[in-house]
Amino acid sequence: MSQSQPETDIRMRPIFRWTTEGPPEEFVQRMEQVASFDPAVRIQSGRTHAMLSIPVEARHTWSPTLDVRVSEDPAGTYIFARVSPAPEVWTFFIFCYAATSVVALIGTVLGYAQHLLGDTPWGLWVIPLWMLICGALYAGSFVGRRLGSHQIHQILAVVEASLGIEGKPVT
């Protein structure tokens, strides 16, 4: 079994890349076959795309999904996989980042206007608060990844079993 390491450990959504022989559709079919024997993994797939996740009865807030895209490559098939939280969790994180960024922008403009008017720029206090909230959200992604690490390995095992011994990590 061949395994690719994530590009970097500090990413919120780790990326894996492999190459294998044969057409992309054949690889997706192999993944469907392997996943059909594993009750701990659910797969939704198309011709050159698959989404692997944990079944609803075993899913938690921190449960991961694996988005797998396959494409033609001179070496055969190029496989790109990204581990991420469930779409609703990812949307919540992005919403929190966006909302706090808008509040920080308003506070910065308010603080600058207060400074120009000679008042105490108390609006600028929103900037350290914004940085603290963004840092907490970022740290929360690591907590979720640690809590879901067993499930990440379960999902990646389907892809790796589908690769067999011929899959090679792309560096």
Distance, CA of 44 to CA of 85 (rounded, Å): 16
Neighbour-count burial of 170, counting CB atoms closer than 10 A to its CB (0-12 exposed, 13-18 middle, 19+ buried): middle
Nearest to 88 by CA among 136, 144, 40: 144
Output Rg (C-alpha) for the chain, integer angstroms: 21
The pTM is what?
Answer: 0.75
- The model's pLDDT over 51-61, given as tens digits with 9 standing for 90+, comes to 999 998 988 88
Q: Which residue type occupies 136?
A: A
Q: Where are the beta strands (DSSP E) in the chain?
A: 15-20, 42-45, 49-53, 64-73, 76-85, 168-169
- The model's pLDDT over 67-106, given as tens digits with 9 standing for 90+, comes to 999 999 887 889 999 998 888 888 999 999 999 999 999 9
- The model's pLDDT over 23-39, given as tens digits with 9 standing for 90+, comes to 888 889 988 988 888 88
pLDDT at 11: 63
User: How far are the Cα atoms of 99, 123, 132, 136, 138 from residue 108, in angstroms, in the given order?
Assistant: 14, 6, 15, 20, 22
pLDDT at 114: 96
- Please give the structure tokens belonging to residue 8: 């970097």
pLDDT at 167: 47
Whether 112 shows a pLDDT value over 90: the answer reads: yes
Q: Which residue type occupies 47?
A: R
